[in-house]
């Protein structure tokens, strides 16, 4: 694909110059997801037992790819999911809402992978109020094996930040996706009208700008950007250039440029939000819960979000999480400031049928122009305690 895009010639042309050839090597201009940081995507089906369940769980979505999870295995019949709150993104996630949504995503993969291995997981959310880091023990009993297209999609699910085609999503598909909600605490609504999408898109652009103008949020976001192949291999987490949904040519060229600074990364994100993410969003989804600050609602909403993402993947569609509005709402709340983005988001959700429920997470859906790319992962063995 890179050759057909002409990048082979570009690489040959620039490798004559010392610094650029180093950047080409250092940043894996070609073969971006070949290293050990991507092994988890290649081996997630290898183990037929509970360790295989963990291998699927670590492939879940998480805020900024922080992977805020730890697991404990007791024998062959109990897996505990724990929160690693040291991986919360400071001022971007002051109430650990996103952290818990990501933990909910891991829990959904865990449940699907258990079923696929003939194990019934009995999951209890936060069973010990005095021990909030224990998120969810899952007691496993033998059961009939249940394979599902959602399970099969675990290895192909990626957040797709590229452009989407100007083609609507069938209403029947949206109805099916909404029907995946199986717990009354979490539901999804769709923003499909031109006016609704414009208003939400505008709010997202303003919120992205506000995040970049808030130095602490900007710095704490940037801390999770992995700008070189070495950093990716070392940390096996965070955001990468390959995950930005750019064309192969532009991604390769960007890797040959000097490493991104925080301010240029911020400017790039705001521009992408305006010219690609919101400009090509065919429909937005809003995951709603009664109380955005209730960890049980966050975990339940996270499970629904991951289930929707897997179902979207199984249908060959694309999804991008877009949470800058709620990040600004939580930031204002944590600083005791008047909410700038809360009232307009609540009004928008109510117009789309939100019925007074609160927005937990937002995303866009569409027919992708190009596939999403793998993001790095710490393997299950590294997050087992
Ligand atoms: C709670 C939550 C919030 C997220 N917020 C955003 C966001 O605002 N913008 C974005 O592009 N991706 C967002 N993501 C996607 C993550 O960055 C992504 O899941 C992570 O980098 C791993 O990549 P993957 O989903 O392709 O496996 C979010 C994911 C979760 C679970």
Indicate which CATH number applies to the domain containing 174. 3.40.109.10
The pLDDT of 141-153, averaged and rounded, is: 96
Radius of gyration of the chain (CA): 20
Q: Which has the higher per-residue pLDDT, 2 or 359?
A: 359
Q: How far apart, in whole angstroms, are the C-alpha atoms of residue 41 and residue 20?
A: 30
Lowest mean pLDDT among 34-38, 61-65, 210-214, 295-299: 34-38
| Any domain includes 345 | yes
Mean pLDDT of the chain: 92
| Any domain includes 250 | no
pLDDT by residue (tens digit) across 320-361? 999 999 999 999 999 999 999 999 999 999 999 999 999 999
Can you tell me which residue has the tokens 């010990």?
128
Tally of domains within the chain: 1
The pLDDT of 300-320, averaged and rounded, is: 98
25, two tokens? 């090597």
| Any domain includes 11 | no
The pLDDT of 262-276, averaged and rounded, is: 97
- Could you tell me which of 380, 302, 375, 314 has the C-alpha nearest to residue 45? 380
| Any domain includes 288 | yes
> Probe ligand 1: pick from 62, 99, 286, max atoms within 8 Å of CB?
62
> Pocket residues for ligand 1 (CB within 6 Å)?
61-65, 98, 101-102, 105, 158-159, 161, 239, 320-324, 361, 372, 375
* Spacing, Cα 15 to ligand 1 middle (Å): 34
| Shortest-distance atom of ligand 1 to CA 238 | 21
| Any domain includes 235 | no
| Any domain includes 25 | no
* Spacing, Cα 221 to ligand 1 middle (Å): 12
Cβ within 8 Å of residue 43, ≥6 positions away: 55, 379
| Any domain includes 368 | yes
| Shortest-distance atom of ligand 1 to CA 160 | 26
pLDDT by residue (tens digit) across 3-35? 333 333 333 333 334 444 445 555 666 556 779
* Spacing, Cα 102 to ligand 1 middle (Å): 9
**Which domain, by its residues, includes 207?**
31-225+260-385
Q: Which has the higher per-residue pLDDT, 253 or 96?
A: 96
pLDDT for 33: 74
| Any domain includes 22 | no
pLDDT for 382: 97
- Contact criterion met (CB below 8 Å) for 362 and 282: no
> Probe ligand 1: pick from 321, 322, 331, 362, max atoms within 8 Å of CB?
321
- Could you tell me which of 40, 102, 96 has the C-alpha nearest to residue 69? 102
* Spacing, Cα 319 to ligand 1 middle (Å): 10
Closest residue by Cα to atom 4, ligand 1, is 63
pLDDT for 16: 38
pLDDT for 255: 85
The pLDDT of 55-68, averaged and rounded, is: 98
Reported in sequence order, the residue ranges of 89-201 that DSSP labels E, i.e. its strands, are: 119-123, 134-142, 187-191
| Shortest-distance atom of ligand 1 to CA 64 | 17
* Spacing, Cα 162 to ligand 1 middle (Å): 13
> Probe ligand 1: pick from 32, 41, 64, max atoms within 8 Å of CB?
64
Closest residue by Cα to atom 12, ligand 1, is 321
pLDDT for 10: 35
């Amino acid at each position: 694909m890179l050759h057909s895009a002409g990048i082979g010639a570009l690489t040959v042309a620039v490798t004559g110059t010392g610094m650029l050839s180093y950047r080409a090597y250092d940043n894996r201009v070609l073969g971006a997801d070949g290293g050990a940081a991507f092994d988890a995507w290649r081996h997630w089906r290898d183990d037929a037992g509970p360790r295989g369940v963990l291998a699927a769980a670590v492939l879940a979505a998480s805020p900024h790819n922080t992977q805020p999870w730890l697991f404990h295995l007791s024998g062959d019949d109990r897996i505990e999911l724990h929160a690693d709150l040291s991986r919360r993104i400071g001022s971007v996630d002051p109430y650990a809402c996103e952290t818990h949504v990501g933990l909910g995503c891991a829990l959904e993969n865990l449940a699907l992978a258990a079923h696929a291995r003939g194990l019934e997981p009995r999951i209890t959310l936060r069973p010990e109020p005095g021990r909030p880091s224990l998120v969810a023990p899952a007691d496993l009993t033998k059961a009939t094996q249940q394979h599902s297209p959602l399970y099969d999609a675990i290895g192909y699910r990626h957040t797709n930040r590229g452009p989407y085609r100007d083609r609507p999503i069938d209403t029947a598909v949206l109805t099916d996706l909404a029907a995946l909600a199986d717990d009354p605490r979490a539901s999804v609504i769709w923003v499909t009208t031109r006016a609704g999408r414009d208003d939400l898109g505008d709010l997202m652009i303003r919120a992205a700008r506000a995040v970049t103008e808030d130095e602490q949020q900007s710095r704490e976001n940037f801390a999770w950007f992995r700008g070189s192949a070495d950093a990716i291999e070392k940390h096996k987490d965070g955001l990468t250039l390959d995950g930005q949904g750019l064309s192969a040519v532009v991604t390769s060229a960007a890797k040959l440029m000097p490493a991104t600074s925080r301010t240029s990364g911020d400017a790039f994100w705001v521009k992408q939000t305006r010219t690609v993410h919101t400009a090509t969003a065919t429909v937005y989804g809003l995951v709603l819960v009664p109380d955005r600050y209730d960890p049980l609602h966050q975990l339940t909403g996270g499970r629904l979000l991951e289930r929707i993402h897997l179902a979207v993947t199984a249908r060959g569609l694309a999804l991008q999480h877009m949470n800058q509005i709620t990040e600004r709402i939580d930031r204002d709340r944590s600083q005791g400031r008047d909410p700038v983005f809360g009232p307009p988001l609540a009004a928008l959700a109510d117009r789309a049928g939100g019925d007074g429920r609160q927005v937990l997470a937002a995303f866009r859906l569409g027919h992708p122009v190009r596939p999403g790319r793998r993001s790095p992962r710490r393997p299950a063995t590294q997050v087992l305690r």
